[in-house]
Amino acid sequence: MEIGMTIIFLALDLLVTGITWGVTSQKDSYEKGMLLGVHIPEEAVTRSEVEEILRKKQRDNRRFQFANLLAGTGVCLLNLAGIGIFLIFWVLWLLEYVLGLFCLICGAHRKLYRLKKEMGWGEGSADGDEYWKHGWYFNPEDKRLLVEDRKNSTGYAFNMARPASRLFVAGCFLVMALLPLSVGICFYQADHVPISVSLEGNRVTIESFLYRCEFTLEQIEEAVLLPELPEDSFDRTNGASTFKRELGHYRGEETGPCMMFIDKGYSPVLFIDLGDESVFVNSREAEQTKEWYEMLARSISGADTEIL
């Protein structure tokens, strides 16, 4: 499962970076009197200062794309360590990639705008470049939230001088970042929050992450150690299943309703029969699982103490 997820996300990262690299590496053209969204005279396009800005933009883009191709591949390998930690780092990588790409594009635009002012190109003309000098539209006198994007006539750009535009963009960015990040944190916690079994008086409590099971000693009909989970088909009804754990409520074709607090690949497994429901629990430390069993066996009058 881990290998399959690694391959899927690796292919996705290669596709995203490959397409973006191909699009951003295209030669910048002079259209509608503009280059990189800045109005300059047509004869200025061949000046050495302008050509150097374009060359540096392409050079920085190649380095950026190659570095992120390697970083994205490395992040995907974290899937083998656990999906929770992978999702956290994958979201951070994706945010770095998007912001870095934005900075590259805006950086070249700003350099060309500064060169235009230094050379005095278009002085006195109302070309509106001063409202785009940061790489985005910023005009406090314009009451519109959206304006036509000067680099793409079929698209629109936000007027970042308007508070509503800034709030909307920031909100969208936070939602896109926090949703997958929160999922990653939940998966990480599901894999790493310890499984605990405690006995207070005659009440037993088993819990981990968001799941908890409580019952009394009198409810226990049988408590035995199994070498592994029964060979049954378990369907998750209300639980969390990760590469490393099974937590929460399940239903087995033969076992029936049950709760699981299982670290996959570890044995033995403590099986507790409560009559109308069963509980399977174990620890990554075999001795810890045996201690839980012995604690219950000592506390139950007439309990089956045989270790299977």
pLDDT single digits (tens) 36-63: 999 999 999 999 999 999 999 999 999 9
Helix or strand (DSSP H, E) at 198: strand 196-200
Q: Specify whether 183 is located in the same domain as 148.
A: yes
**64/95 Cα distance (integer angstroms):** 14
Q: Which domain holds residue 133?
A: 2-190
Q: Please state the domain count of the chain.
A: 2
Q: Specify whether 205 is located in the same domain as 147.
A: no
Is 157 within a domain?
A: yes
Q: Are 132 and 147 in contact (CB under 8 A)?
A: no
Is 306 within a domain?
A: no
Is 137 within a domain?
A: yes
Print burial letters for 174-195: b (CB count within 10 Å at least 16), e (below 16). eeeeeeebeebbbbbebbeeeb
Is 121 within a domain?
A: yes
Q: Specify whether 220 is located in the same domain as 184.
A: no
Q: Specify whether 140 is located in the same domain as 207.
A: no
Is 210 within a domain?
A: yes
**235/34 Cα distance (integer angstroms):** 61
Instruction: Tell me the per-residue pLDDT of 84-136, one tens digit each, with 9 for 90 and over.
Output: 889 889 989 999 999 999 999 999 999 999 999 999 998 878 889 999 999 99
Instruction: Taking residues 214-229, report their average pLDDT.
Output: 95
Domain boundary among 162, 190, 218: 190
pLDDT of residue 243: 87
Is 307 within a domain?
A: no
**49/113 Cα distance (integer angstroms):** 12
Q: Specify whether 87 is located in the same domain as 115.
A: yes
What is the pTM (predicted TM-score) of this model? 0.75
Confidence of residue 307 (pLDDT cuts 50, 70, 90): very low
In residues, how long is the chain?
308
Q: Specify whether 156 is located in the same domain as 75.
A: yes
Is 91 within a domain?
A: yes
Domain boundary among 171, 190, 209: 190
Angular region, 37: left φ>0, alpha ψ -120 to 50, beta rest = left
Q: Specify whether 158 is located in the same domain as 178.
A: yes
